[in-house]
Structure formats: C-alpha cells, structure tokens
Structure 1
Amino acid sequence: MVVIRKAAQNDEKKTAGPRVRPVPAVTRSIAILRLLGNSAAPLGVKAIADELQLVPSTCLHILRVLVDEELVKIDASTKRYSVGAGMLSLARSALKSGGFSDLVQPYLDDLASRYGVTAMGVEPSGLKHMVVKALSVSELPVSLHVELGSRFPALISATGRCVAAFGDYTPAELKSGFESLRWQNPPTFEAWMKEVDTTRTHGYGIDRGNYIAGVTVVGTPVLDSKQRMVFGLAAVGLMSQLSATQVSALANDLSKASTELASTVVSVR
C-alpha cells in the first residue's frame, strides 16, 4: 500500500528520493518496441518515425541496435520491422520469475507426473484473455503442446467456466464474451451457463471435448479473500487416457492445490 503524506517544504527537500532523469534513447526504444508489438503488420522506418514523431535517422539508428540485440527483426526484402525472438525470451523470463509461478510449479509438476497431463497455472485478465504463467508437461509419449506465455480467451474451456463462476460479471457480459469464442464442439449458451453454475457449486470446471475434440480439461480457481478468481489451475489430457474416475480424482487434487495456494498466493501479487 502506498501512503501519501503532506510535509513541510523544507522537509520535502531533505527527504525527497533521487530524481529519475529521462533517457531519450531508452524511452524511444521502448516506444518502438510497443508500437511494433501492437502492430498487426511489420512497419517501415518512415511509418515508425511518423507515428512516434521521431527523426527518421534517429529511428533507424535505434532500430539497428534493436535488431542487433534480436529484440526486433527486419525483413530484408521489404525493409520492414517487427518484434524479434529476443522479446519472447525476455517475456518468458519475466513469467518464470517469482510470485505465483514459483509457488504453483511444485503442484503442477506433481499433477503432470501422477496423471500424465499437461498442467498449467494461468492468470485471467478480466473477460479478455488468460495467460499461461507456469507449466509442467508429462513424460508420456503423447502430450498436448502448450507454451509458457500463451494467451487464451478468458471464457474458453474449463478455466473459462471458473472465470464466469467466480467473477463479478452480468449474464449480458458473459453472453457477449461467450459469443466470441471458438470451440470445436460448441455448447449452447444456456447449457454452458448451467455448467458455470455447477462449477460454482463444486469448485471446479470440466470441459469434455468442447474446446478441443478428444481432449478433457479440468480447471480450478485460486480465490482471493472475496472469493474472486485471481489465478487458475488447469490440467489438460486426452479423453482416451483419462477415465471418469481419474477425472474426478484429478479435479479433487486440483481443488486441494488451489485451496492451499489461495492462502499464500494473493500476498505475492
């Protein structure tokens, strides 16, 4: 918590922290990276310079440095720029470091090993999307590929049922979000809402082949003190490899893990 206190002018001068001086090259580099990250297509030097009101020669100099550091890549044929693989590496490092990711990893490793599933720790962002922040993959010959940092629609699959069940959203908001989802075997909104109610009652959600045909997903919420979902756990496996008994046991173990995490994870946010 940040506390702002009023003080006498003389005291402010004595206790003020170090002044952060702007570094134009750094500020411009960050602006370029954000612009390229938000752009649907690669951009040329002139387009970038015009958008950010930079001198083209300065823009080109910064781009060359970013390319050299692999944070930006250039298409040699079009001379257009886009974000490079180095950005993904940095993002993954940020996702791995500290907080929820560290706390949840032992649980995911245990679940993946015992049930032969891909286990994930996710963080929802409202009704927009959820991000995979921690991951553990089983050693079985067949497993589902998910990448750390992947983003999914917030209401999709089993974790989506948890978002709907443990969030302060109106039926109209949920319907609007639901209608934008893409399922291989889509449920009706009415049937989905009944499953959301069941998720609220049982404390876990199950997707049996709706999101991806032949795949079962079990999800549980990690709740804050107001019983709102702040993180989630998910286990993904092939329907042919998970019996009804195993799914029930998996849901129970996921719920236990979520309950244990809830007592500590909110304090690290």
Structure 2
Amino acid sequence: MEDNMNGIEEKKKPKYNVPALDSAFKILTLLSRKKFSKSNLTEISKALSLTPTTCFRILQKLEELSIVRFDKSSKRYSLGPYLVVLGERAKENQFDISVIIPYLESLSEKTGLTAFLVSRIGKNRSTIIAKSEGEEFGINVSVGRHFSVIDGSYGKCLLAYLEEEDAVELLHSNEGLRSMSSEEIQELIKELPTIRENGYATTFGEYIDGIVGISAPLFNTDGSVDMAISIIGMTAQFNDKEIVKMGELIKRIGQEVSFKISGYESKK
C-alpha cells in the first residue's frame, strides 16, 4: 500500500546548494551573452555580485579546464574551447533535438518564417537551443540567447502548464523584456486557460514592437512542459485569420513532436 494510505505524508527531497558550482554556471551564462562575451574580472564580479577573490578563484579553475579562456594582453575572459567539445557531445546525445530539428526546418519552409526551439533552464530562465531561419520573412535569432521564462509567446506556453501559484510568482517577479502592471499580469493569468484550450499561444507586438510570435508546447510523458516550438515574423504580415491558421499548424506539429519524443498523446 502507498505510504499516504498509512497516514504517512511523502517528504519532499531537500534542495542542496553548492555556491561555487552555482557561481561557475552564472559566470559561463554571463560570458555567453554578447555584451559580456569578453569581460575582465571586475566586470564579471560586479555583474554577478561576487567578490573579486571568489570570482577569480572560480575563473582560474575554469581556465585550467579550458572551459574559459583568458587573454593576457587584454586581461579579459571568454568562453573556452572545451565547451565546443561538450556542446557537440551534448547534441549527439540529445535524441529530442535530433528529432525536433527536421520539424523546425519543415515549419520554416512552409511559413517562410524563423522557427526555433525554446527550453526552460532552471526556474526563471529559458534559452533558444535550435533554430531554422525562413528565407522569405526570417528574423534572425541567436541559439543560446537567454530570456526570462515569462517572455514571448513561448513564455506563455511554459506558464500555461505550470501550477497556477508558480506562474503567478514568476509573473510578479517582473523580470521579463517588459515591465507589466498588476492589471496586465492579471489579464495574462486569465489568458492561461485559453492557451491550454487552444493548444498554442500568441503575442502581437507587446514584447517587441512589430514582432508577432506563435508558440506551441512540447509535452513530457506526464503532461508537463519544459520546451516550446515557436515561429516569429513581422506584425504587418498577419491578420487574425492568418494567426489562427499558423497557430493550428504549429499546434499540430507540437503534438506530433510530443508523441515522438515522449509518447504523450494530446486529447485535442
């Protein structure tokens, strides 16, 4: 019999914090951003609120492992060559991505738009991990670029399948591309059930002027969502009927991809 049948509540696993590891990951994430791709010790420690001594020790170890590179002449750090090796091995071992990329290519060919795959990273962030740029109306996006988990149509997809209290907490953190008022946050919270019902989410210039985004969730085996596929274009290219048509297209593709990578079969 299950423990809860005997009146015993299941205990949550404790969360362990490893400060040095957490700081090392933050350093690598910072150096992956264009603005900080070549930064000195002061810039890195200030941006991450780390003491220069702690920051220097971590950078030294990362440099020893060729995970970061130090230029003696400029005294600046950048991402190191061994990350290329790790990245290639990660791609080789990521069955999900190898399955999804052909769908992104097909989607960009059918629409002429840029199609990309977004994955949640940790609690608050998301990143682009694969893309296919359309030849006709493609908008350039950068693989590896980080966003707040609440940003864009892909953020709406991720939020829609979270527990409501988690979604509300993330929205009230207001760490996205645009600062939202309390009224706007409430409107978005009310929109989340509609997103689940429709099977896709849209944005129309509210995050980036002139840009429309349409995204569909990719489901895990248990119905949770950590990834979304998206297309983006110019608002001038779309009317309401075209957005619905694109939404239904990306929804169908998302359902097919979800079934292939996790066996999850949508009922809608």
Q: Does residue 37 in structure 1 map to residue 28 in structure 2?
A: yes
Q: Is the 1:204–1:218 Cα contact (8 Å) retained in structure 2?
A: yes
Q: Which residue of 2 aligns with 1:72?
A: 69
Q: TM-score, normalised by structure 1?
A: 0.69
- AA in 2 matched with 1:51: R
Aligned-pair identity (%): 17
Q: Which residue of 2 aligns with 1:130?
A: 126
Q: Which residue of 2 aligns with 1:234?
A: 230
Alpha-carbon spacing, 1:215–1:32, altered in 2? closer, same or farther (3 Å): closer
Alpha-carbon spacing, 1:236–1:50, altered in 2? closer, same or farther (3 Å): closer
Q: Which residue of 2 aligns with 1:195?
A: 191
Secondary structure of the corresponding residue to residue 188 of structure 1: helix
The C-alpha deviation readout for 1:111-161, integer Å capped at 9, x for no partner, is 111111110111113541112121100112x53111112221111111111
1:27-106 matched pairs, under 5 angstroms: 37=28, 42-43=40-41, 47=53, 51=57, 63=63, 66=66, 71-74=68-71, 76-77=73-74, 80-84=75-79, 86=81, 89-90=84-85, 92-93=87-88, 96-97=91-92, 98-106=94-102
Unaligned runs of 5+ in 2: 1-20, 32-38, 43-51, 264-268
Shift of 1:84: 3.2
Shift of 1:88: 6.2
CA distance in 2 between counterparts of 1:154 and 1:211 reads: 13
Q: TM-score, normalised by structure 2?
A: 0.70
Match of 1:246 among 239, 242, 249: 242
Shift of 1:83: 2.3
Q: Is the 1:221–1:233 Cα contact (8 Å) retained in structure 2?
A: yes
Q: Which residue of 1 aligns with 2:103?
A: 107
CA distance in 1 between counterparts of 2:108 and 2:29 reads: 34
Greater displacement, 194-203 / 231-240: 194-203
Q: Does residue 167 in structure 1 map to residue 162 in structure 2?
A: yes
Query: Across the two proteins, how many residue pairs are aligned to each other?
Result: 224
Q: Is the 2:41–2:55 Cα contact (8 Å) retained in structure 1?
A: no
Q: Is the 1:36–1:82 Cα contact (8 Å) retained in structure 2?
A: no
Shift of 1:245: 2.6
Q: Which residue of 2 aligns with 1:120?
A: 116
Q: Which residue of 1 aligns with 2:45?
A: none
Shift of 1:74: 1.4
Q: Which residue of 1 aligns with 2:151?
A: 156
